[in-house]
Amino acid sequence: MGIKVLLVDDHPLFRQGVSHALSNFPDLEVVGEASDGQAAIRLVDKLSPDVVVVDINLEGLNGLEATRVIRRRYPNVGVVILTMHEDDEQLFNAIKAGAAAYVTKDTSPDRLVDIIRRVGKGEYIINENLITKPFVASRVLKQFRDLAALEDEENLFTPLTSREVEILDCIARGMSNKEIARQMSISDQTVKNHITSILRKLAVNDRTQAVIYALKRGWIKINDET
């Protein structure tokens, strides 16, 4: 079964160009187009797309606000946010809104197709942006600490193994899979296998949610100097 895609942009010519590019790939199906955030939400209700590709700068309800509503109503729908220029503040807000990817509009069609496919499989590519954005990563980690502080009681029971908790702690400190593998003297694939197990056990969709989940329950800590 193909990946159903909804395109949201206030420039018809741009929408048509993306739609034409995606039509060359039989596993992708553009099921609808919208020019603003409100129309996008209505079409998600009606068409049940797998992935929504939305411009961040829309009239009225902008792309971030639309993403927030869509993700709250339909957690299984992946959102790819498109922007003219990379911006740390926008990236931070895109992560907060629940976007699965944050991409500039000058990306190549093949790259966009790859991103849509990965998001359609449930991946959160946006977390990869943090590797090269230490300022944004530190803000995200601060939010983790703030969310953890809201938990009144610590639940010390964890379904994770000690190695999985150790890996989750590394993720919370902003380490990439390669860095974790190098520190633990294990292969990249072993790290990926552990992360897959963590997400399955905690019933969450991505690394970010797993860290929040573990912090709120006191399984891991982030030092103030992080």
Tens digit of pLDDT for each residue in 21-79? Answer: 999 999 999 999 999 999 999 999 999 999 999 999 998 899 999 998 998 888 889 99
One domain for residues 156 and 113: no
- Asked, for residue 59, whether it belongs to a domain, the answer is yes
- Asked, for residue 223, whether it belongs to a domain, the answer is no
One domain for residues 114 and 194: no
One domain for residues 37 and 88: yes
Residue-wise pLDDT for 143-196, tens only, equals 655 554 544 334 334 567 778 888 888 888 778 889 999 999 999 999 988 888
Domain that holds residue 103: 3-129
- Measured CA to CA, the distance from residue 159 to residue 156 in angstroms comes to 10
Give residue 158's pLDDT: 52
Place of tokens 């790290």: 191
Q: Taken in order 42, 47, 51, 57, is the CA torsion positive or negative?
A: negative
Q: Which of 105, 129, 153 is the last residue of a domain?
A: 129
CATH number (domain holding residue 88): 3.40.50.2300
One domain for residues 8 and 36: yes
- Asked, for residue 224, whether it belongs to a domain, the answer is no
One domain for residues 161 and 121: no
Give residue 170's pLDDT: 87
- Asked, for residue 119, whether it belongs to a domain, the answer is yes
One domain for residues 106 and 144: no
Sheet harboring 3-8: ordered strands across?
28-34, 3-8, 51-55, 78-83, 101-104
One domain for residues 52 and 122: yes
Residue 215: band (very low, low, confident or very high) from pLDDT cuts 50, 70, 90: confident
Answer with the residue of higher pLDDT: 218 or 118. 118
Does this model's pTM top 0.85? My answer is no
- Asked, for residue 226, whether it belongs to a domain, the answer is no
Residue-wise pLDDT for 88-112, tens only, equals 888 888 888 888 899 999 999 999 9
Give residue 49's pLDDT: 96
- Asked, for residue 225, whether it belongs to a domain, the answer is no
Q: Which of 129, 162, 181 is the last residue of a domain?
A: 129
Residue-wise pLDDT for 197-213, tens only, equals 888 877 777 888 888 77
CA distances from 185 to 3, 108, 139, 167 (A): 37, 36, 29, 12
For residue 9, pLDDT over 70 is answered with yes
> What are 17's two structure tokens?
């160009």
How many CB atoms neighbour CB 226 within 10 A? Answer: 14
Give residue 151's pLDDT: 45
For residue 1, pLDDT over 60 is answered with yes
Instruction: Let me know: does 94 contact 56? Beta carbons within 8 Å.
Output: yes
Residue 25 neighbours by CB under 8 Å, 6+ apart: 113
- Measured CA to CA, the distance from residue 27 to residue 29 in angstroms comes to 7
One domain for residues 12 and 123: yes
Give residue 198's pLDDT: 85
Number of domains in the chain: 2
Give residue 142's pLDDT: 65
Q: Which of 129, 144, 164 is the last residue of a domain?
A: 129
One domain for residues 93 and 152: no
One domain for residues 138 and 122: no
For residue 127, pLDDT over 60 is answered with yes
